[in-house]
Structure 1
Amino acid sequence: MANETLAVPAEKKARYPRSIPFIIGNEAAERFSFYGMRSILATFLVAQFFNPTHNPALQTVAEAQANQSTHFFVTLAYTLPFLGALIADWFTGKYKIILWVSIIYCFGHLCLAIFDDNLNGFIFGVIVVAVGAGGIKSCVAANVGDQFDKTNQTLLSKVYGWFYFSINAGSMVATVLIPWVYANYGASLAFGIPGILMALATIIFFSGRKMYVRVPPSGINKNNFVFISLYALFNLGKKQKGQSWLDVAKGPYNPEKVEGIKAVYRVLAVFAFVPIFWAMWDQNLSEWVLQAEKLDRHIVLGPLDFTVLAGQVQTVNPVFLLLFIPIFNYFVYPFFRKIGINPTPLRRIGTGLALTGLSFVIIAFVQGNVDKGAHPSVWWQIFAYVILSAGEVMVSITGLEYAYTQAPKSMKSTMGAIWLLTVAAGNYFDVIVNGSIASGGYFSKFVGADFYWLFAGICAAFLLVFLFVSPRLKERNYIEQPEEEAEAAAISTNL
Structure 2
Amino acid sequence: MGTISTASSDQIIADGDTAPTDAPADMQRAVAGRLSVPAALAIAAESWERCAYYGTTIMFTIYQETALGRSKPQTVATNRAVELVSFFMPILGAVVADQWLGRFKAILLFGAIYPIGLAMLTISSAQFSHDGGFAVPGFFVSTFVFLAVGAGGIKGNISSFMAEQIRPGYSATKAPGVYRSGEATVERGFRIYYWGICLGTFVGTAICPQIAKRQSHTLAFAVTLGFFAMACAFFLLGTARYARTRPQGTVLAKTWRCMRYAWRRRHSGQAHWLDGALDAAGQEWDNEFVLGLQRSLRACRVFLFYPAYWVVDYNVADTYINQGLTMRRPDWLSADQLNLAYTLSLVVAIPVSDYAFPLLRRMGLRLGPITRITIGFGIVACAVAYAAVLQRVIYSRGPYYDFSGPDVPAGATNNISIWLQVVQYSLTGLSEVFVSITGLEYAFTQAPAELRSVLTALNLATICGGTLGGIILSPLSKDPSVMYVFAGEAAAMAALALAFYLCFRRHDDNDG
TM range (shorter): 0.7 to 0.9
Size of the alignment, in residue pairs?
438
Aligned-pair distance for 1:194? 0.8
**Which has the higher mean CA deviation after the structures are superposed, 319-328 or 381-390?**
319-328
Q: Which of 147, 151, 175 is the aligned partner of 1:133? A: 151
Quickly say closer, same or farther: Cα 1:152–1:107, change in 2 above 3 A. Answer: farther
Q: Which of 253, 269, 278 is the aligned partner of 2:301? A: 269
Structure 2 counterpart of 1:246, one-letter code: L
Quickly say closer, same or farther: Cα 1:208–1:182, change in 2 above 3 A. Answer: same
Partner of 1:28: 47
- Gapped regions of structure 1 (runs ≥ 5): 1-13, 52-61, 299-305, 439-443, 480-495
Partner of 1:320: 345
Q: Is residue 292–residue 310 contact of structure 1 (8 Å, CA) maintained in 2?
A: yes
Q: Is residue 190–residue 437 contact of structure 2 (8 Å, CA) maintained in 1?
A: no
2:264 maps to 1:240: no
2:225 maps to 1:195: yes
Partner of 1:370: 394
Q: Which of 290, 294, 311 is the aligned partner of 2:322? A: 290
Aligned-pair distance for 1:446? 8.2
Q: Which of 31, 51, 66 is the aligned partner of 1:47? A: 66
Q: Is residue 50–residue 197 contact of structure 2 (8 Å, CA) maintained in 1?
A: yes
Q: Is residue 84–residue 139 contact of structure 1 (8 Å, CA) maintained in 2?
A: yes
Q: Which aligned pairs between 1:417-432 and structure 2 lie closer than 5 A?
A: 417-432=457-472
**Which has the higher mean CA deviation after the structures are superposed, 459-468 or 425-434?**
459-468
CA distance in 2 between partners of 1:457 and 1:191 (Å): 38
Partner of 1:103: 112
Aligned-pair distance for 1:75? 1.8
Aligned-pair distance for 1:212? 4.9
**Which has the higher mean CA deviation after the structures are superposed, 97-106 or 17-26?**
17-26
2:499 maps to 1:465: yes
Partner of 1:122: 139
Q: Deviations over 1:448-475 (max 9, x none)?
A: 211212212321332343354344x445
Aligned-pair distance for 1:180? 0.5
- Scaled by the length of structure 2, the TM-score of the pair is 0.73
CA distance in 2 between partners of 1:477 and 1:431 (Å): 37
Q: Which aligned pairs between 1:319-338 and structure 2 lie closer than 5 A?
A: 319-328=344-353, 330=355
Q: Deviations over 1:223-251 (max 9, x none)?
A: 7545545x37xx95764334444355565
Quickly say closer, same or farther: Cα 1:350–1:190, change in 2 above 3 A. Answer: same
CA distance in 2 between partners of 1:221 and 1:331 (Å): 38
Partner of 1:350: 374
Q: Which of 441, 446, 449 is the aligned partner of 2:483? A: 449
Aligned-pair distance for 1:68? 1.3
Aligned-residue RMSD, C-alpha: 3.8
Provide the identity percentage: 26
2:401 maps to 1:384: no
CA distance in 2 between partners of 1:211 and 1:255 (Å): 30
Partner of 1:92: 101
Q: Aligned to 2:472, what secondary structure does the other structure show?
A: helix
Partner of 1:58: none
Structure 2 counterpart of 1:274, one-letter code: Y
Q: Is residue 368–residue 509 contact of structure 2 (8 Å, CA) maintained in 1?
A: no
CA distance in 2 between partners of 1:81 and 1:159 (Å): 20
2:214 maps to 1:174: no
- Gapped regions of structure 2 (runs ≥ 5): 1-32, 172-179, 396-400, 403-413
CA distance in 1 between partners of 2:507 and 2:36 (Å): 41
Aligned-pair distance for 1:164? 4.8
**Which has the higher mean CA deviation after the structures are superposed, 311-320 or 413-422?**
413-422
Quickly say closer, same or farther: Cα 1:152–1:248, change in 2 above 3 A. Answer: closer
CA distance in 1 between partners of 2:236 and 2:356 (Å): 43
CA distance in 2 between partners of 1:50 and 1:226 (Å): 48
- Scaled by the length of structure 1, the TM-score of the pair is 0.75
CA distance in 2 between partners of 1:38 and 1:377 (Å): 25
